[in-house]
């Protein structure tokens, strides 16, 4: 039987395109969390997965290794990704990279549902090109990181698709799938709430008021449960177990904080979103074309999305421009805008040329994330080194300067210190009182000796004993 690789528009079928991107992102999929971009965010999630396996699998009480002398139980995103990692580890034993492949699989499935949704509501060419721009955007690298950002949005796409199916073919199955997936999307990362922007457009031409009310009621229920998790349960965990919980800024303070570095805030849009200047030019040009052609519906969709995203930015404050991945929720909307314009180009080869130019620039700017720098690999020796000198249950401190990466790689619990705190006797006495017995110093980031009992010294690390 002859296999047809092309769709009705004579392009490679989207299933094969998604599959190709999936295969490319398998390069280095088993890498430990040593890549420069946001390794700290990944190890935090890895700590939760490993602690489910080694300490307590109770879903509602995620815990990290940065305990600061306490339990390490923290308020965080609904830990579905971390728990899936734990469940896989029950079968195959724990490995760092399970979270990567889980995220990549879910994100790839989610992008396919994104394609199906846009195809249903706009047209096949817009869906096709929008999907390619989304695949090549910042999603390319973050869909293979152990982080919930693309994971949650992908679950949201699945939920929105079944919302559309419910409105078209009323059934308990479609409604249940809509509610379950949209709820999980909101819970696994609150930024996925931007998915609600699509709801008015999905219900726009639906005649049945009853069905519209049911969809909006389900959305409100999902938002309410999301509120309970983030602003009730997580606060409870912080109060009871003493760990800091990042609930964001108030809107006014956050908005002011965004002006602290206008250049970096704007950069999240013109570069970080697609890792491509060319894509941003296409985005701006597409908006101009929409205005000229009076395509107000898609402009309204974009503007409504930006308004909601603006609240998210303000709630995030300066964190928005410090961390590039905060732009991820709005990128699908931008991809639809660009895809809709490219789909209107009648000359197939011009359209393909624009896509090619984008992918060449974007993937060139992201390919480094598939690999680990040789200069970082020494960190993988840390657990073995520490095991020779420190018991499994002893608390340690590392000079991570805010990054718990080496605390995770040491496979110990404890504290993360700034370099300037290493000579601060008050700080050192404070962590000693909380049970810290050892100090692990990365010599690549701190070159000086300290006046404590040194029990290990090699080319990468010094280990000091703080308590006899």
| Predicted confidence (pLDDT) per residue in 48-103, tens digit | 999 999 999 999 999 999 999 999 999 999 999 999 999 999 999 999 999 999 99
Q: Assess whether pLDDT exceeds 80 at residue 440.
A: yes
- Residue 260 has a pLDDT of 85
> What is the β-pairing status of strands 395-398 and 413-416?
parallel
Query: Residue 153 in contact with residue 195, Cβ under 8 Å?
Result: yes
- Residue 112 has a pLDDT of 98
| Predicted structure pTM score | 0.94
Interval 246-303: pLDDT, tens:
777 788 888 899 988 899 999 999 999 999 999 999 999 999 999 999 999 999 999 9
Mean pLDDT of the chain: 94
Mean pLDDT, rounded, for 431-453: 95
Q: Of 260, 290, 279, which is closest to residue 135 (Cα–Cα)?
A: 279
Mean pLDDT, rounded, for 432-456: 95
Interval 178-224: pLDDT, tens:
999 999 999 999 999 999 999 999 998 887 889 999 999 999 999 99
Mean pLDDT, rounded, for 226-232: 96
Report the distance separating Cα 405 and Cα 457, nearest Å.
Answer: 20
Mean pLDDT, rounded, for 459-465: 96
* CA distance readout (Å), 247 to 18, 42, 89, 235, 319: 35, 19, 30, 9, 12
Query: Residue 249 in contact with residue 317, Cβ under 8 Å?
Result: yes
Q: Which residues contact 468 (CB under 8 A, 6 or more apart)?
A: 453
Question: In the structure, what pLDDT confidence band is assigned to residue 243 with cuts at 50, 70 and 90?
Answer: confident
| DSSP for residue 435 | T
Report the distance separating Cα 314 and Cα 143, nearest Å.
Answer: 25
Interval 320-367: pLDDT, tens:
999 999 999 999 999 999 999 999 999 999 999 999 999 999 999 999
Mean pLDDT, rounded, for 438-467: 95
Mean pLDDT, rounded, for 416-425: 95
* CA distance readout (Å), 62 to 45, 50, 409: 9, 10, 18
Q: Assess whether pLDDT exceeds 60 at residue 2.
A: no
Interval 378-410: pLDDT, tens:
999 999 999 999 999 999 999 999 999 999 999
> What is the β-pairing status of strands 395-398 and 436-442?
parallel
Report the distance separating Cα 359 and Cα 187, nearest Å.
Answer: 32
- Residue 295 has a pLDDT of 94
For the beta carbon of residue 187, count every other beta carbon within 10 angstroms. 22
**Lowest-pLDDT range, 60-64, 228-232, 314-318?**
314-318
- Residue 208 has a pLDDT of 84
Going through 83-149 in order, the beta strands assigned E by DSSP cover: none
Q: Assess whether pLDDT exceeds 90 at residue 245.
A: no
Question: In the structure, what pLDDT confidence band is assigned to residue 3 with cuts at 50, 70 and 90?
Answer: low
* CA distance readout (Å), 449 to 30, 415, 423: 36, 19, 10
| Residue 375, token pair as written in the block | 């200069």
Helix (H, G, I), strand (E, B) or coil at 395: strand
- Residue 37 has a pLDDT of 80
Report the distance separating Cα 328 and Cα 331, nearest Å.
Answer: 5
| Residue 27, token pair as written in the block | 């390069």
Q: Assess whether pLDDT exceeds 70 at residue 4.
A: no
- Residue 5 has a pLDDT of 67
Strand partners, 462: 441, 457
Question: In the structure, what pLDDT confidence band is assigned to residue 8 with cuts at 50, 70 and 90?
Answer: confident
Report the distance separating Cα 308 and Cα 175, nearest Å.
Answer: 25
Within 13 Å and on the Cβ side, how many CA atoms surround 464? 19
Query: Residue 338 in contact with residue 129, Cβ under 8 Å?
Result: yes
Report the distance separating Cα 331 and Cα 360, nearest Å.
Answer: 18
């Amino acid at each position: 039987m002859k296999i047809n690789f092309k769709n009705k528009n004579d392009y490679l079928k989207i299933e094969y395109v998604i599959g190709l991107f999936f295969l490319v992102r398998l390069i280095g999929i088993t890498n430990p969390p040593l890549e420069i971009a946001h390794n700290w965010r990944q190890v935090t999630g890895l700590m939760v997965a490993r602690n489910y396996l080694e300490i307590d699998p109770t879903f509602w009480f995620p815990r990290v290794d940065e305990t600061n002398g306490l339990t390490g139980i923290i308020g965080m995103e609904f830990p579905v990704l971390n728990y899936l990692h734990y469940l896989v580890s029950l079968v195959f034993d724990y490995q760092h990279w399970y979270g990567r492949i889980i995220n990549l699989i879910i994100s790839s499935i989610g992008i396919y549902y994104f394609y199906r949704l846009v195809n249903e509501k706009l047209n096949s060419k817009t869906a096709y090109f929008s999907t390619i721009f989304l695949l090549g955007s910042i999603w390319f690298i973050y869909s293979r990181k152990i982080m919930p950002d693309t994971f949650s949005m992908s679950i949201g796409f699945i939920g929105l698709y079944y919302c559309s199916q419910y409105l078209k073919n009323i059934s308990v199955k479609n409604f249940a799938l809509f509610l379950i997936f949209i709820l999980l999307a909101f819970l696994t990362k609150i930024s996925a709430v931007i998915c609600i922007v699509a709801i008015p457009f999905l219900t726009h031409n639906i005649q049945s008021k009853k069905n519209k009310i049911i969809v909006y009621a389900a959305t409100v229920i999902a938002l309410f449960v999301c509120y309970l998790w983030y602003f009730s349960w997580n606060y409870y965990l912080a109060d009871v177990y003493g760990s800091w919980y990042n609930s964001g800024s108030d809107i006014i303070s956050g908005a002011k904080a965004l002006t602290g570095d206008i250049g970096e805030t704007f950069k999240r849009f013109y570069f970080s979103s697609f890792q491509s200047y060319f894509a941003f030019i296409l985005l701006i040009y597409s908006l101009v074309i929409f205005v000229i052609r009076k395509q107000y519906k898609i402009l309204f969709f974009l503007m409504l999305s930006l308004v909601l995203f603006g609240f998210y930015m303000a709630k995030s404050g300066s964190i928005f421009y410090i961390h590039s991945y905060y732009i991820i929720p709005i990128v699908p909307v931008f991809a639809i805008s660009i895809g809709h314009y490219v789909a209107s180009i009648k000359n197939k080869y011009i359209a393909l040329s624009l896509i090619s130019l984008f992918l060449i620039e974007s993937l060139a700017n992201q390919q480094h994330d598939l690999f680990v720098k040789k200069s970082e690999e020494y960190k993988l020796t840390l657990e073995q080194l520490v095991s020779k000198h420190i018991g499994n249950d002893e608390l340690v401190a590392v000079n991570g300067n805010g990054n718990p990466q080496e605390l995770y790689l040491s496979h110990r619990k404890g504290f993360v210190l700034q370099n300037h705190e290493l000579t601060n006797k008050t700080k050192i006495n404070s962590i000693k009182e909380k049970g810290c017995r050892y100090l692990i110093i990365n010599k690549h980031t701190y070159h000086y000796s300290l006046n404590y009992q040194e029990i290990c010294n090699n080319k990468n690390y010094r280990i000091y004993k703080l308590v006899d």
